[in-house]
Amino acid sequence: MIKKLLIANRGEISVRIIRACRDLGIKTVAIYSEADRRALPVLMADEAVLIGPPPAAESYLCIDKIVDAALQTGADAVHPGYGFLAENAEFAAACLGAGLNFVGPPARAIGSMGDKIAARQMMEDSGVPVIPGSREPITDVAEIIPLAKKAGFPILLKAVAGGGGKGMRVVHCADEIQTALEGASSEAKSAFGDGRVFWEKYLEHPRHIEIQILADKHGNIIHLNERECSIQRRHQKVIEESPSPIMTADLRRQMGEAAIAAARACGYINAGTVEFLVDTERKFYFLEMNTRLQVEHPVTELVTGLDLVKAQLLVAAGEELPYQQDQITPHGHAIEFRIYAEDPKNNFLPSPGTLSVYREPHGPGIRLDAGTYEGAEVPIYYDPLIAELAVWGETREEAINRAIRALEEYKIAGVATTIKFHCWALKHPLFRSGDISTHFVDEHFESITGCLDIDENALRPLALAAAIYEYRRAKKKTAAPPTGRRNLNWKVNGRRLSLRSISGPGGRS
């Protein structure tokens, strides 16, 4: 079994992984940048290693520094979390090369899914449905015109190295192809250093439904049902749920089998997700595979009762999956909300700053994965995710009502948040009826400014209490330690946490 794990990430996902390690008796090493000296994972991990200045390119993206930190602290494994280096085949290979167990798929599987046209070909050859389109990158526009006409306009041009919607262009007729191709290609070239583009028939109002899979090193692969992720904004998911409102037992079986075939085709091991687009006739098509643990994994954990991070660690250690497909028996309905420090009143502009008030919701059916605490900073350097709020109910309706209750209980001041945006979505008749597509936010979010007005009166007593507390503390201790230390006063492993003992590389011991 893994004895000591380095977590190559920050924020809530690092906290999530530390929790699984504590449950399993695995020691933890956090890494942190200068912007994250007082971050929650640094306080919670057994050891913490400073790896560089705030910009991710000089810290959380530095393969050499991270591998060094693991070797220096005697870690035997590395968990990449999501984002940063999580889908970097070079990082997975570097860990293995240094004798570290990488808690994720083989570098080969990461690489084969990063090339979207190679992935498409591999899926087509394995009998996984793909959207009608090209098997090769576009070289000659004249060649594809008859093929696109046959598939039917509109078509969508996509970057081979794509992701996040960069290098995509919808094309409505043959005359538009050349210009769109030039635009997509130059955008892809500057974003990914690879200007190759391919095409697919454009699905107009698809749902985004993904299947969670788990694969061990002994050839066992199971799926853990779907998550519906259609509620997104600019290719960022904002609400995810399971089961999907449109799922049937038959469709689930077919999509589950396709996801397992996809994983088998690329030699996948560990936790992964196969994304599908589902059209209005409930036909499903492979979109891409995410070769990592995802932000929305708690949704699956709530309905299946499994611990996906624990499963990842056991699989990485070489154990067989402890369950078979027929032992996966989901129960109830889960919905997750990404709580961002972004301003929905101002086009979701990031809103970094200090969480002067931070009160979490609790109670039946509520799970909160937060990477922060009252008084902590949301730095400007990274994705401004504060927390994931996941709710569970016997039914979708109960989950929605609990979600509204939890979001109203959640009090944050000091930064703008997406909490009120979620309340708007939950109260929208189309969301309530489950009639959603990937265009839901774009098509319906204009008209709600009234709903977004934050109830300043409700927050005033909390802000006042926090201010009085800070004032008294400052008066008592003139040479006070940095904010966020004294008031935590946490003990972990029987030890009071002290930031003073966290120094540069090598960490505390």
Query: Shortest approach of ligand MV4 to residue 286 CB, angstroms?
Result: 10
Query: Shortest approach of ligand MV4 to residue 203 CB, angstroms?
Result: 4
What does the alpha-carbon distance between residue 18 and residue 228 come to, in Å, rounded to a whole number?
27
Give the tokens for residue 118.
Answer: 């190679």
Query: Shortest approach of ligand MV4 to residue 287 CB, angstroms?
Result: 6
Amino acid identity at 454: I
Examine the residue annotation and report whether 460 is marked as an active-site residue of this protein. no
CB under 8 Å to 443, separation ≥6 — which residues?
A: none
Q: How many CB atoms neighbour CB 499 within 10 A? A: 17
By 3-state DSSP, what share of the chain in percent is helix, strand and coil, each rounded to 5?
40, 25, 40
**16, 38, 292, 402: which is the annotated catalytic residue?**
292
- Specify the 3-state DSSP secondary structure of 476: helix
- Specify the 3-state DSSP secondary structure of 474: helix
Cβ closest to ligand MV4, residue 134 vs residue 232: 232
Cβ closest to ligand MV4, residue 19 vs residue 444: 444
Cβ closest to ligand MV4, residue 38 vs residue 201: 201
Query: Shortest approach of ligand MV4 to residue 235 CB, angstroms?
Result: 5
Q: Cα dist. 214→19, 101, 202, 267, 350 in Å?
A: 20, 17, 30, 12, 34
Residue 134 DSSP label: -
Residue with tokens 């990404």: 338
Q: Which residues bind ligand MV4 (CB under 6 A)?
A: 131, 156, 163, 165, 200-203, 206, 208, 232, 235, 277, 287-288, 438
Cβ closest to ligand MV4, residue 16 vs residue 237: 237
Query: Shortest approach of ligand MV4 to residue 129 CB, angstroms?
Result: 12
Q: How many helices (H) and strands (E) does the chain have?
A: 17, 24
What does the alpha-carbon distance between residue 181 and residue 171 come to, in Å, rounded to a whole number?
9
Cβ closest to ligand MV4, residue 190 vs residue 449: 190
Q: Are strands 366-370 and 385-393 parallel, antiparallel or unpaired?
A: antiparallel
Catalytically annotated residues: 292
